Chains A and B, each alone.
Chain A
Amino acid sequence: MPTIRDYADIAGKGAIEELYLLADRLSGKVVQNVNSTAVGGGVAEILIRMLPLLRDLGVDARWDVIKGDERFFATTKKIHNALHGVAVDINEDEFAGFLETNRMNASGMTFGDVVFVHDPQPIALIEERPQAGGRWVWRCHIDFSRPDEHVWRFLKTYVDRYDSAVFSAPAFARTLSIPQVLISPSIDPLSDKNRDLPAETIDGIFERFGIDRSRPVVTQISRFDFLKDPVGVIKAYRIAKRRVDCQLVLAGGGATDDPEGPAIMKQVMDEAEHDKDIHVLFLPPASDIEINALQRGSTVVLQKSLREGFGLTVAEALWKSCPTIAGAVGGIPLQIKHKYSGILTHSIEGTAHWIKQLLQEPAFARRLGQNGREHVKNNFLITRHIKDYLLLFLSLYHPDDIVYL
Chain B
Amino acid sequence: MQPFVFYTKYDQTLLLGRRARNLQALLEGIKSVPDASLYFHTHRFLLQHHFLSPEPPNDFAYWVTEVLNDDALGERLSSADLVQYDSLADLRAFFVDALEESLRQTERVVDSPRGEEFHFMASRIFVLPTPYTAEGLNDFASILEHISISALYYHIFDAKLRLGHDDNDFSRWFADLGHEGLAAKMRLLDPYTQTMEGLRTQILSMVRRYAND
Query: Which residue in chain B gives the minimum CB-CB distance to A339?
Result: B66
B128 at the interface (CB under 8 A from A): yes
CB-based nearest B residue for A377: B51
Residue of B nearest to A395 (CB): B12
- Whether B116 lies near A328 (C-beta < 8 A) is yes
Does B15 contact A170, Cβ atoms closer than 8 Å? yes
When chains A and B are docked, how far (Å) is the Cα of A375 from the Cα of B44?
13
Could you tell me the distance between the alpha carbons of A18 and B147 in the complex, rounded to whole angstroms? 12
* Contact (Cβ within 8 A) A340 B13: no
The reply to whether B48 and A375 form a contact with Cβ atoms under 8 Å apart is yes
Q: Are B15 and A401 in contact (CB under 8 A)?
A: no
A174: chain B residues at CB < 8 Å are 17
Which single member of A22, A173, A378, A379 contacts B10 (CB below 8 Å)?
Answer: A22
Q: How far is the CB of B175 from chain A (nearest CB, A)?
A: 24
Given contacts A181-B14, A337-B56, A371-B51, contact A402 B127 (CB under 8 A): yes
Q: Identify which of B10, B15, B62, B128 gathers the most chain A CB atoms within 10 Å of its CB.
A: B15
Given contacts A171-B117, A337-B56, A378-B48, contact A388 B125 (CB under 8 A): no
Tell me whether B121 is interfacial, beta carbon within 8 Å: yes
CB neighbours (8 Å) of B8 from chain A are 18
Residue A281, interface by CB 8 Å: no
Q: Tell me if A107 is interfacial: C-beta within 8 Å of chain B.
A: no
Q: Is A162 part of the contact surface with B, judged by Cβ < 8 Å?
A: no
Contact partners of A341 in chain B: CB under 8 A: 49
8 Å CB contact of A176 from B17, B66, B113: B17
Contact, CB under 8 Å: B56 / A145: no
A351-405 contacts to B, CB under 8 A, are 371, 374-375, 378-379, 387-388, 391-392, 394-395, 398, 400-405
Contacts of B124 in A (CB 8 A): 395, 400-403
In the complex, B52 has a CB within 8 A of chain A: yes
In contact, A401 and B17 (Cβ under 8 angstroms):
no
Query: Which residue of B14, B47, B56 contacts A180 across the interface (Cβ within 8 Å)?
Result: B14
Q: Is the CB of B121 within 8 A of A170?
A: yes
Residues of A contacting B51 in the complex (Cβ-Cβ under 8 angstroms) = 371, 374, 378
Once bound together, how far apart are the Cα atoms of A392 and B13, in whole Å?
A: 10
B148 touching A18, Cβ below 8 Å: yes
Q: Which residue of the partner chain, among B15, B36, B163, contacts A173 with CB atoms under 8 Å?
A: B15
Within A192-211, the residues touching B (CB, 8 Å) are none
Q: Which residues of A contact B14 (CB under 8 A)?
A: 179-182
Question: Which residues of chain A are within 8 angstroms of B116 by Cβ–Cβ distance?
Answer: 328, 333
From A333, A379, A395, contact of B48 by CB (8 A) = A379
Chain A interface SS verdict (over half)? mixed
Residues of A within 8 A of B49 (CB): 337, 340-341, 371, 375
- Tell me the complex Cα distance, A179–B124, Å: 11
Residues of B within 8 A of A337 (CB): 49, 56, 62
Q: Is B178 an interface residue (CB 8 A)?
A: no
Complex-state Cα separation, A46 to B56, whole angstroms: 32
Q: Closest Cβ of chain B: how far from A371's Cβ, in Å? A: 6
B10 proximity list for chain A (CB < 8 A)? 18, 22, 387, 391
- Rounded to whole angstroms, the CA-CA distance of A338 and B69 in the bound complex is 13
Q: Is the CB of B48 within 8 A of A338?
A: no
CB distance from B40 to the nearest CB of A (A): 11
| A306 to B41 CA separation, bound complex (whole angstroms) | 27
Report yes or no: B113 in contact with A181, Cβ–Cβ below 8 A: no
List of B residues within 8 angstroms of A338 by Cβ: 66
B31 at the interface (CB under 8 A from A): no
Least CB distance from A238 to B in Å reads 25
Asked if A65 is at the interface (CB within 8 A of a chain B CB), the reply is no
A110 located at the interface, meaning its Cβ lies under 8 Å from any Cβ of chain B in the complex = no
Given A170-B119, A340-B56, A401-B124, is A14 in contact with B148 using a C-beta cutoff of 8 Å? yes
Task: Indicate if the CB atoms of A405 and B127 lie closer than 8 Å.
Answer: yes
Give CA–CA (A403, B36) in the complex, Å: 13
User: In whole angstroms, how far apart are the Cα atoms of A405 and B8 in the complex?
Assistant: 11
A341–B117 Cα distance when bound, in Å, is 20
Chain B residues, Cβ within 8 Å of A180: 14-17
List 7 A–B pairs whose Cβ atoms lie within 8 Å, in order of A's numbering.
A173-B16, A173-B19, A328-B116, A374-B52, A375-B48, A391-B12, A398-B126
- Given contact pairs A171-B115, A183-B13, A328-B116, a sample of 5 additional A-B residue pairs in the complex whose CB atoms are under 8 Å apart: A21-B128, A180-B17, A337-B62, A371-B49, A403-B127
Give residues in A with beta carbon < 8 Å to B: 14-15, 18, 21-22, 145, 167, 170-176, 179-183, 328-330, 333, 337-338, 340-341, 346, 371, 374-375, 378-379, 387-388, 391-392, 394-395, 398, 400-405
Q: Which 9 A-B pairs have CB atoms at the shortest separation, nearest pair first?
A: A170-B119, A173-B15, A180-B15, A182-B13, A173-B17, A374-B51, A391-B12, A403-B126, A405-B128
